[in-house]
Structure 1
């Protein structure tokens, strides 16, 4: 028996949309990994947002934006912080396996819960505190009990992403969601462009993730760039729609399917399987995120 689209419930639509978004986000990671061999994380960030801007403008043409406005500095903050988070994320993709990179990024719910408590005054239930503790144990375990540049960049990805998402909460009542995405993509083009110019004159080991010179893409790189931009843009769109159809806690839990997709693509690329210690840390982080999602 074939179920027609009209018989699918909103919850089922939300689940299917989040699964599609997770697949597209993992495809974004795959193409970013393929590009990492010929260009730095800064340029990957630039192209990801440049193509995404083109896709977004098509949607804006079809349905113009209407904003209440009133929080321009928060809007700018979201764009800048989100861009820096993307820079650190693409750096971790270039420096480690896809499964490790996405698990680092999935520390975001842990930091979001803490920031919501500190900045927005949201209450933390005992279960949420327990989940946060589990998450931090997972972070320490994932690092292999070492503090390296890669580990710092991975954790920074989670923290900055949480800061960006927390700021979005205060923007929802003032701006169309496409305006928030537009701010993110605009700075996602401008900041990498400035960094690539600066990289011609500046060198720094501490900021190696943010200083790459521009390298003109050639051959298959152009295909990966276009595929990355479209996958990221539509992944964002499907994720947003998923939260519209289903409860946030359920959608957040389903979003962890991106780890499975990313791990599969990583195996295709020849990634080495993680050690038992790293796998244990990853499982604790995933458990923490799911427990926090159930609180939503």
Structure 2
């Protein structure tokens, strides 16, 4: 899980570095790289590439692509660590959607954790002058779509291999991202080529090692570790981009992450 979170952190800061490159061009490279790696993996393992629940996997792909694009857009307005932290509010929306669409039940204490997380967002917006309103709106909307993704994945269940589900996402992202990037294409320069090509590698490694972590250890032990991504991302952002955080930033981020970790632990009891 540590390798996974570090891989995702590297992907996040790579997107931040590519600020000059249009978002849909970044989406194209991110998805194309992972598509090649995931397809190769599926073929080598002899896994049926088209899967069973195709409509649900296509829906998951569209929702995931929307969430990814909005997240990448938000990085043009927010510190990378702040954007990643706010993106993790997605499980709250997922839990609420699951109540209505999957008839799941929430414990009362979970509502307290959700309110604490949203209070953390208010602390960030209300006291941290570095929080851009457009960026905040983009990342919160991305979290809503990510929440929908979680619910659709639950509906897919174990009928399809995780690599196939991811591959649908990467295929749709490659096609749509590529088409939308044509009119705004910018020629990458220097190290931009390297970071664009590494996006898919970092993303694939993140997905692969996260899956392996959940396969070999209990969920309630592994799941909270995914928030290490925030620590990695903030650290790299401060060192690489000289990003600044106020005391209110850290208070708000601590409220959000603590509430979500506690929710993960309670949910698995």
Shared fold (TM-score, shorter chain, > 0.5): yes
The yes-or-no answer on 1:193 pairing with 2:178 is: yes
Q: CA RMSD in A?
A: 1.8
Unaligned stretches of 5+ residues in structure 1: 1-17, 201-212
Q: Report deviation, 1:83.
A: 0.6
Contact 2:57/2:156 (<8 A) preserved: yes
The match for 2:64 is 82
Q: 1:277 to 1:192 in 2, by over 3 A?
A: same
- Alignment match, 2:31: 49
Distance 1:55 1:283, change over 3 A: same
Instruction: Work out whether residues 23 and 258 of structure 1, in 8 Å CA contact, stay in contact via their aligned partners in 2.
Output: yes
Partners of 2:124 and 2:249 within 8 A in 1: yes
Match of 1:231 among 199, 202, 206: 202
Superposed displacement of residue 272, structure 1: 2.9
Q: Distance in 2 between matches of 1:71 and 1:59?
A: 20
Distance in 1, Cα, partners of 2:36 & 2:50: 24
Q: List gaps (5 residues or longer) in structure 2.
A: none
1:26 aligns with 2:40: no
Cα pair 1:128 1:292 within 8 Å, conserved: yes
Return the alpha-carbon distance in structure 2 between the equivalents of residues 161 and 231 of structure 1: 19
SS of 2:126's equivalent in the other structure is: coil
Q: Report what 1:290 is aligned to.
A: 261
Partners of 1:102 and 1:251 lie apart in 2 by 19
Equivalent residue in structure 2 for 1:171, among 144, 152, 156: 156
Deviations 1:206-254 (A, max 9, x none): xxxxxxx111223211111222211110110001111111222222211
* TM superposition score normalised by structure 1: 0.84
Where do residues 29-108 of structure 1 align in structure 2 (5 Å cutoff)? 29-36=12-19, 38-66=20-48, 70-108=52-90
Tell me, yes or no, if the aligned pair for 2:121 and 2:256 is still in contact at 8 Å. Answer: yes
The count of corresponding residues between Structure 1 and Structure 2 is 264
- Give, in angstroms, the shift of residue 69 of structure 1: 5.1
TM-score, structure 2 as length reference: 0.92
Aligned-pair CA distance for 1:106: 1.0
1: CA distance between counterparts of 2:44 and 2:12?
29
What does residue 109 of structure 2 align with? 127
Query: How far 1:70 moved relative to its partner?
Result: 4.8
Distance 2:174 2:37 in 1: 14
SS where residue 185 of structure 1 aligns? helix
CA distance in 2, matches of 1:249, 1:80: 29
SS in 2 for 1:256: helix
Partner of 1:12: none
CA distance in 1, matches of 2:231, 2:96: 26
Which of 141-150 and 55-64 deviates more?
141-150
Partner of 1:14: none
